[in-house]
Amino acid sequence: MDASSAQSLVDYYAGISALLVVILFAKFTTHQARLSRADSRGSSRDVGVGWKWAHLLSVAAAFLGVCAALAELGWGGFLSMPESVVRPGVAVAGLLATAILAVDVAAT
């Protein structure tokens, strides 16, 4: 592996880690904002079972994506999987978390 491809791996995992951390922050703030609006309107804080599971899935996907990216950055072969499996796995976690966040924000 030459220096340019090694740098691109570092850029990829660092970039997607930053994206997933922002998604985690956004999920927690949108969740809290929804509860605050429900309290101010005097309506029920219950958002439904589907939204609860979607919120949990989004947070879990973002968290696991960050953990996998940081493990790959810090320890290279720590996950005992080839990089060709880890990179798409992190991308799928990011895509899932992003899609659920987009739907959540659009529904608010």
pLDDT digit string (tens) for 8-64? 888 888 999 999 999 999 888 876 776 676 667 666 656 677 888 888 999 999 999
Does residue 100 contact residue 41 with C-beta atoms inside 8 Å? no
Q: Token pair of 87, please? A: 């990179």
Residue 80 has pLDDT above 90, yes or no: no
Residue 46 DSSP SS3: coil
CA distance 104 to 53: 12
> pLDDT band at 106, cuts 50/70/90?
confident
Q: What's the pLDDT at 52?
A: 82
Q: What's the pLDDT at 21?
A: 95
Q: What's the pLDDT at 39?
A: 64
